[in-house]
Structure 1
Amino acid sequence: MQKYDVVVLTDHRYAHPSKLNDYTKNIIVEDALVVNAMGKLGLNVIRLAWSDPHFDWSSTKAVLFRTTWDYFDDFPKFSNWLNRISKVTNLFNSDSIIRWNIDKHYLQDLKAKGVHISETLFLEKGDKKTLEDLHTETGWTETVLKPCVSGAARHTYKLNPENRAKHQGIYETLIANEAMMLQPFQKNIVSEGEISMMVFNGQFTHAILKKAKAGDFRVQDDFGGSVHDYKPSKVEIQFAIDTVKACNELPLYARVDIFKDNNGQIALAELELVEPELWFRHHPDAALILAEGIKEKLLTLSC
């Protein structure tokens, strides 16, 4: 007999934090909005770290990935855990979606389906070309280098002719162990920001605008970026919905990060389907929409 309907997954640092700063408070509020929304629908819910060593994962009908923001710090451990629990419970989003979305090669699949993405050069593990070689081949002057499996701007570097040589050593270390990606630096992200569009079960709910702090190019609040309410255009909403529908299956939740590229076109920065921040605190009703989708999915699984 399964004890829980859903386990809401978090990072071990935020499961039972001893100190509360503004960042941690936001995490707790976000997770609480989701837990409470499911509770209102009669679901039995608990919140745990994905790495909890004692929990019996077969005792829950499903797990919901929310603030598991440490999984990329020890990806082999996370991958092994994913293999184990996917055999005994259901994953939201699904196991196949998560595995596809963790690696940013998924951008190539979306591009093939007509989604406009940022220009991207994928660099496979073991590539021997230097940063200078890559920039000569592409003709790009200013670029951003980052891993294909990452989060929170881990090992994300802005490159230019003056600092490429300085980054060659770290690049050689990274590419020897993992695939990387190189993209032209997008100036509009700095000047105008990046828009995050939240889509639940194919339905757009709300959007926020992320802006980098002065002198930086990273919009994440980890690096001092700011968040603002945003009213998207019909074109931007349709772009987000079309992007989600281009997946092989419709995800229960998605964050579609878009921006205006160097040519002035709406482009996809990333499609976040694993553990995106969804800013429920800016639009609490969206938590109930997600909860309703989860309950409907659980009923389908019970049939």
Structure 2
Amino acid sequence: MTPTTARLALATCAELPDLDPDDHALRDALAERGVAIEAVVWDDPTIDWGTYTHVLIRSTWDYTERPAQFADWTRRVERTSTLLNPATVVGWNIDKQYLRDLENAGLPIVPTIWLDPERNFDSRAIHTRFPAFGDFVIKPTVSAGSRDTGRYNAGVTQQRSMAITHAKNLLGVGRRVMIQRYLRNVDTTGETGLVYVDGEFSHSVRKNALLEGPYRVGLADELYRQEIMTAREANDAERELADRVVAALPDVIPGVDGPLLYTRVDLIPDDDGTPVVLEVELTEPSLFFAHAEGSVQRFADAVAARL
């Protein structure tokens, strides 16, 4: 491969100035391809982003506390540089209300009830939207790494009360809320994350279930919850659904007219074992290179080809 002198910024956050450990292999693989790289904190006011021809978003995991500022940063970067993935994609993907677009496109998602702060829901109105039985999840539509998220048992009065408080607190500070029935098969099967590079399937991993109980305030101080990852070969049904999601993105995201550099589709099984979409990560997903031989080389090749 012909070396390039292009300057590439790998955008990260102040808590991970040297990138997440999983991206160290990517940094090394890009260097081997002659790509001049720097890890740069996205909200560092001293950075002149125009000095980089390309910016690749990686571990910017504190943006959920300042989503508007982050979205504005992506647009500013694009005035002088090429952003991977583009700002229009990031803007669409920041808020999990994008799942509505996927559902409208005929893709199966985890059944979700949406609460908007403008509706001024009182406790009774929130309560009536909870499932009548089983476990359910409360989370904000802008979140990452299971932050500000809790799991509740609909049959336990105290937990329903805690869930109301959780939802009211989020709504009270202007955050939109999702209520999702907890699909118990995830406890045994886990999540399957399928990674696509330039629109082509690269590899898949298994993520253990993270939610064990109600939201606890102390967890809000964590950058993300630690995940237990293992390699997994996605089954035919998972591949078929994830392929459909990737194929649908140009139709549901304004301004997208071709394959994105990276996409991660997270699926979980419903009560019948059929996969449904939990999330589609297009902004700053972990790509789990350590769990798939050759994956970092494939991704580095794709990045270098875009420079």
1:6-46 per-residue CA deviation (whole Å, 9 max, x = no partner) reads 11111111115xxxxxxx8xx23x22222222223332211
- Aligned residue for 1:247? 249
- Residue number among 76, 96, 99 corresponding to 1:104 in the alignment: 96
Matches within 5 A, 1:1-303: 4-16=6-18, 27-28=20-21, 30-130=22-122, 132-137=124-129, 139-141=131-133, 142-161=135-154, 162=157, 163-176=159-172, 177-212=174-209, 215=212, 223=225, 225-248=227-250, 249=256, 250-298=259-307
1:188-221 per-residue CA deviation (whole Å, 9 max, x = no partner) reads 1122211111111111121111113795599x99
Using the TM superposition, give the Cα deviation of residue 133 of structure 1 relative to its aligned residue in structure 2, in angstroms.
3.1
Paired residue secondary structure (2:16): helix
Q: Is the 8 A contact 1:199 1:240 kept in 2?
A: no
Q: Is the 8 A contact 1:189 1:217 kept in 2?
A: no
- State the alpha-carbon separation in 1 of the partners of residues 267 and 146 from structure 2: 16
Using the TM superposition, give the Cα deviation of residue 70 of structure 1 relative to its aligned residue in structure 2, in angstroms.
0.9
- State the alpha-carbon separation in 2 of the partners of residues 213 and 258 from structure 1: 14
Letter matched to residue 243 of structure 2: I
- State the alpha-carbon separation in 1 of the partners of residues 11 and 63 from structure 2: 11
TM-score normalized by structure 2?
A: 0.84
How many residue pairs get matched?
A: 285
Letter matched to residue 180 of structure 1: V
Q: Is the 8 A contact 1:146 1:182 kept in 2?
A: yes
- Between stretches 142-151 and 119-128, larger displacement belongs to 119-128
| Unaligned residue ranges in structure 1 (runs of 5+) | 17-23, 299-303
TM-score normalized by structure 1?
A: 0.85
Letter matched to residue 179 of structure 1: R
Could you say if the C-alpha distance between residues 83 and 213 of structure 1 is closer, same or farther in structure 2, counting changes exceeding 3 Å? closer
| Unaligned residue ranges in structure 2 (runs of 5+) | 216-221, 251-255
- State the alpha-carbon separation in 2 of the partners of residues 264 and 54 from structure 1: 50
Paired residue secondary structure (2:234): coil
Paired residue secondary structure (2:195): strand
User: Which portions of structure 1, spanning 4 or more consecutive aligned residues, are displaced by more than 4 angstroms?
Assistant: 137-140, 213-218, 220-225
